Chains A and B, each alone.
Chain A
């Protein structure tokens, strides 16, 4: 492992952590709304949230590139705010990752909130608990396992991101060069031992994460 490889690992971890944090912050209210809304807009929003699941990362990356670019709506906004252009920067990569991993965080949370049902929340309301109190002390603890798996899967999925990164982040060492891209470069250069070190590490990490999630899920099921 070269220092460049280690820097790719560092960028990846930074990106995945920031993405997960942002997604938990944005995804929780969104999932809550999706689980409880009876609005006609709800299925539309649900479909939009699920799009990254079915779209090729290149399509997603292409449109994100246009949106974030100097002539795109988001690009104009960031120029106006003095942040500058997002493409080929860590911030742009972060924006792309948030969109790309959105369904992986929102969907388990939405399913968990839906599974809680109206019962416990109505009971809490009749025990003088207001809406925020009900969310914090009833809904959130009941959905705790889902928060854990949403965070872990969101993190792991961001680590595994490739197409979107390549399109909007490029390959700038120390800034936007992530693990998956580094593996790609090594394979292109026929540096198989180096590719093995990164790819094998990623494989082991991903397996360990998924295993942990399913073990936790099983414990959760056994308890109820």
Chain B
């Protein structure tokens, strides 16, 4: 068994969580859904901070909680790192004290990175002697993340680690998250309600709604499903993986090689060969029958309509396949769909704006 499995049926007051989830035992998975859908409870059950009656939790080949209630490994024996929404630093200890707390309790043979190196990795060296009360929100989350990693967890659980921050701060923190997962080969589960965060960081996705699992699977596959797209509403869209092929300084454009084609992205996106994820929102993708040269749209790619699905209020969701096999989603008006006579098999030109999602991702084999 090389995965993480959780089965919970739990009714607490007017809230019910009914989830049967299997996540890969390595790489980053996301539990995604609107606020109050049970994401945090699910994560707390994984950590053992909550004990759902009759619930089952298994990580790799170790049973953490058995359905018959006989086995329940308490959180401090699970070897999970947990980064809470509010960071939860120990206010009576300095930053160094907080990091040392974790390091001292890590198994001896896994104390490798050390406090100094971990601090350097998260740019905390200058803050080591400060007290948590004097830190900014972003700094606290960095300390919390470094602290969680210093305890040498086998599973890292992140409860909306970016939620307390504005957009600029988030963008600041994401590279650190990324570095963490590249440096340390451990499994991580991230709880989030922001699609871009999930698309950027996670290989595997569980979509939760009102305490129920709507869908689960590899992120790229899941994001182009109609039911998922409907659940994501305005944030629906596909994610493409590519590598930086060339930067054209004259145009300030980066060419990104994807399967069977090339994307144009604004700005410089890292050196040639950098793996990259690009997000193409369904609302940013329009379909045409011919490749018109008189457009300001950066990307025009030949595609074939796979299928269509009505999306309420005069809208249609169309799934199209690029030459290389990648699927994209378009949200077009019913009227346009009729005008273009969209139907499965129809050849179209996909016109879209692509957004790069953080460079340098260790995309692994996933």
Question: Which A residues are closer than 8 A to B by beta carbons?
Answer: 119-120, 122-130, 133-134, 137-138, 141-142, 144, 223-224
Contacts and interface: CB of A to CB of B under 8 A. Distances in A.
Given A120-B90, A123-B84, A141-B92, 5 more contacts: A119-B86, A128-B102, A128-B106, A129-B76, A223-B133
Given A127-B102, A127-B147, A128-B151, A122 B75 contact: yes
A142 B82 CA distance: 21
A126 B92 CA distance: 18
Contact of B75 (A119, A120, A126, A137): A126
Interface residues of B, number: 28
Contacts of A224: 91, 133
Most chain B CB inside 10 Å of its own CB: which residue of A129, A134, A138: A129
B76 A130 contact: yes
A142 B225 CA distance: 50
B154 to A, nearest CB: 11
A187 B157 CA distance: 69
Closest 9 CB pairs of A and B: A126-B82, A123-B88, A128-B105, A125-B75, A119-B88, A141-B92, A127-B151, A127-B102, A125-B76
Contacts of A141: 92
Nearest to A125: B75
B49 interface: yes
A134 B102 CA distance: 12
20 contacts: A120-B88, A122-B82, A125-B74, A125-B76, A126-B75, A127-B81, A127-B101, A127-B105, A127-B147, A127-B148, A127-B151, A128-B76, A128-B79, A128-B102, A128-B151, A130-B76, A133-B105, A142-B90, A144-B92, A223-B133
A144 B76 CA distance: 24
B194 to A, nearest CB: 23
Could you tell me the dominant secondary structure of chain A's interface residues?
helix
Contacts of B81: 126-127
B205 interface: no
B151 A122 contact: no
Contacts of A142: 90-92
Contacts of A125: 48-49, 74-76
Nearest to B147: A127
Most chain A CB inside 10 Å of its own CB: which residue of B76, B82, B89, B105: B76
Contacts of B105: 127-129, 133
B47 interface: yes
A223 to B, nearest CB: 8
Contacts of B236: none
B80 A126 contact: yes
Interface in B84-115: 84, 86, 88-92, 101-102, 105-106
Nearest to B92: A141
B94 to A, nearest CB: 13
Interface in B64-87: 74-77, 79-82, 84, 86
Given A119-B84, A119-B86, A126 B47 contact: yes
Given A127-B102, A130-B76, A122 B86 contact: no
B88 to A, nearest CB: 4
A122 B49 contact: yes
A122 B80 CA distance: 12
Nearest to A116: B91
Interface in B32-70: 47-49
A221 B48 CA distance: 33
A123 B75 contact: no
A138 B148 CA distance: 16
Contacts of B147: 127
Contact of A126 (B49, B90, B91, B133): B49
A164 B86 CA distance: 49
B108 to A, nearest CB: 12
Most chain B CB inside 10 Å of its own CB: which residue of A125, A126, A133, A224: A126
Contacts of B90: 120, 123-124, 138, 142
Contacts of B102: 127-128
Contacts of B80: 126
